[in-house]
Structure 1
């Protein structure tokens, strides 16, 4: 009897197999046929769920971002935290520590950094930023209401702050090779936050 599985289960299996192959063989050396052979499925079944190898990678990146987006949403709309506390925790939860970097994450980052995947990552980053901009806009508006932020255009300001932060801090290669170098970016970003949001100096420095 043919093994029929729910679409989400099958998609998860394909992504898991692809992730393992990307680590062991590398993204460029992995073909859709390798994934098909690993799972012992038909080519038609793979292409029913994904357009190509790039589409699989895109969905893998989305999957990795889901827990962070959920955490940021919960943080942004929390009624128990002040706006300043939210910004401080926003920085903490979005930082990538060297201890959290696994071989799979490194290979995934190496894959998305390939020149041929630049358009795909631009598409993902814009989608990611649009979601987070909404959350950060809410935090800025809360800060204005609390009298601790002084921002005339919350949404537009959030767009600049989040887009710049995402494209710089999400570069895992910088963290992996030189964590101290990333610290310089973090200090600069906190200074930008203070000046842009109109807060007291060093309020985001622990």
Structure 2
């Protein structure tokens, strides 16, 4: 009797099996046949859920940053935090701490750095920006309403800031820079952020 499972269960199995194979064999060495054999499904069922191996990787990367989005939403919606503190925590959540680096994250970083995945990651970064933009905009608008930030166009300003931050920070992570080097870039961005919002840079370090 054929093993029939809910679509979300089957998709989760395919994603888990793919991640395991990527870590064991590497992304380039893993074939769709490997994934099919690992899960024990037909080729047709694999392509019913995913267009190709690249889409599987895309969803794995997206899944890995979902906790970050959830954390940022909590920060932005915390009405007890002043706008400057929200910005500071917003930035701190994007730093990869040494104790949170896992084999899975290392594998994903190495994989997305491959030349053949450049277009896919560009598409992912734009989608990531779409999720961050309303959150960042909300913080800037809140600061403007409280006369903390001196900004005429909150949304447009947030768009420039978020786009630059996402592309630069992710490019640096793919280059495997250490935390000390990443912190230099973070401080530089805080300087840009402070000048753009009309506040003292030291406020973002409090």
Smaller-chain TM-score bracket:
over 0.9
C-alpha displacement of 1:113 = 1.2
* 1:153 corresponds to: 153
Q: Which runs of 5+ in 2 are unaligned?
A: none
The ranges of structure 1 where at least 4 consecutive aligned residues each deviate by more than 3 angstroms after the TM superposition are none
With normalisation by structure 1, the TM-score equals 0.95
* 1:73 corresponds to: 73
Residues 87 and 139, structure 1, Cα contact 8 Å, conserved in 2:
yes
With normalisation by structure 2, the TM-score equals 0.95
Q: Deviations over 1:26-47 (max 9, x none)?
A: 0000000000011111101100
Residues 21 and 30, structure 1, Cα contact 8 Å, conserved in 2:
yes
* 1:144 corresponds to: 144
Residues 86 and 139, structure 1, Cα contact 8 Å, conserved in 2:
yes
Please give the secondary structure, in 2, of the residue aligned with 1:203.
helix
C-alpha displacement of 1:130 = 1.2
> Given the alignment of the two structures, is residue 54 of structure 1 paired with residue 54 of structure 2, yes or no?
yes
Please, what is the CA RMSD of the aligned residues?
1.2
Q: Work out the CA distance in 2 between the residues paired with 1:172 and 1:25.
A: 22
Residues 151 and 197, structure 2, Cα contact 8 Å, conserved in 1:
yes
Please give the secondary structure, in 2, of the residue aligned with 1:85.
helix
**Aligned pairs for 1:184-203 within 5 A:** 184-203=184-203
* 2:124 corresponds to: 124
* 2:98 corresponds to: 98
Residues 23 and 107, structure 1, Cα contact 8 Å, conserved in 2:
yes
Residues 77 and 138, structure 1, Cα contact 8 Å, conserved in 2:
no
Residues 194 and 200, structure 2, Cα contact 8 Å, conserved in 1:
yes
Q: Work out the CA distance in 1 between the residues paired with 2:193 and 2:177.
A: 26
Q: Work out the CA distance in 2 between the residues paired with 1:177 and 1:93.
A: 17
Please give the secondary structure, in 1, of the residue aligned with 2:24.
helix
Aligned length: 205
C-alpha displacement of 1:154 = 0.6
C-alpha displacement of 1:201 = 3.4
Q: Which runs of 5+ in 1 are unaligned?
A: none
> Given the alignment of the two structures, is residue 173 of structure 1 paired with residue 174 of structure 2, yes or no?
yes
C-alpha displacement of 1:81 = 1.6
C-alpha displacement of 1:108 = 0.6
Q: Work out the CA distance in 2 between the residues paired with 1:77 and 1:138.
A: 9
Residues 15 and 60, structure 2, Cα contact 8 Å, conserved in 1:
yes
